[in-house]
Amino acid sequence: MIITDMHVHSTFSIDAHDDIDTMCRTAIQKGVKYICFNEHHDLKPHESCYSLLDYEQYSRAIEEAREKFGQELKILKGVEFGDPNYFPGELEKMLEKDFDMVMAGVHFVDDFIMGDRRLKKLYSEERIYEKYYENVLKSVEIGGFDVLAHLDFPKRYLDEIYEFPEMIEEILQVLVKKNIALEINSSPLRKGLDEASPKPDVVESFIKIGGNRVTIGSDAHREADIAANFSQLPELYEKVPMGYFQDRKFQAL
């Protein structure tokens, strides 16, 4: 049984719906023992997606939640830093702050967030995937963070799935070299897809080449989605080196 959800968002993220206390209460009700809030910090100005994390207020809210729920739930303080490939200097500043886990999430191609209809007017879906993976590779080469989120993010938004095995393999190699964990993100399952992110054979490849750090997250932006669809994940995911981060250190389960 999976008892960790290492990727959730509260109202400290611009696109989330429920506050930290509500998320914690629901996590406890669902039997989750470890939860990590990964609030968005997105520096690429674009409509409502631009979101700077209020670190001080967020930290206070986490401490208050720990006082309320700490006996039933391990509450971890994280951040999802958006698109390190565009903002390596800002990433360095963020890494100096007191987080349990720093996650990198690549969301943009050029100046357009994934899902923006204008992207499909500029590029074919295959080219969007290719450019996306190019940005992911640049991000992991910068490194410094703990976890790479939703490796194949475009499949949430595009009609077809295009794979670039050599580029994905290179990304995995860099993750292993830099001791960056790979996230298994269950959100595609609740969006109608039949596989998580990434798909099982990518996880297997990561393990085969020496990857020994995996986290699992729902990417919940509302309480109902905490640990959602975890029961649908293949048995493979129960056998990977699963864990969580505390004080930026990986703790195996």
Model confidence over 165-218: pLDDT tens digits? 999 999 999 999 999 999 999 999 998 899 999 999 999 999 999 999 999 999
For 197, phi then psi, to 5°, come to -125, 115
Beta bridge partners of 100: none
Which residue segment(s) compose the domain that 218 sits in?
4-252
> In terms of Cα–Cα distance, which of 48, 135, 129, 44 is closest to 82?
44
> Does residue 87 sit in helix, strand or coil?
coil
177: helix, coil or strand?
helix
Cis peptide before 198 (omega within 30 of 0): yes
Q: Which two tokens stand for residue 101?
A: 């886990």
| Residue the block writes with tokens 């269950």 | 186
pTM of this prediction? 0.95
Give per-residue burial for 80-91: e unless 16+ CB within 10 Å, then b: bbbbbbbbeebb
Average pLDDT score, the chain? 94
Give me the CATH number covering residue 166.
3.20.20.140
Question: pLDDT for 24-67, tens place per residue?
Answer: 999 999 999 999 999 999 998 765 667 889 999 999 999 999 99
pLDDT bin (cut points 50, 70, 90) of residue 234 is: confident
Domains identified in the chain, total number: 1
Confidence of residue 237 (pLDDT cuts 50, 70, 90): low
The two three-digit tokens of residue 247, written as one number: 């004080």
| Share above pLDDT 70 across residues of the chain, in percent, rounded to a whole number | 97
Residue type, 51: S
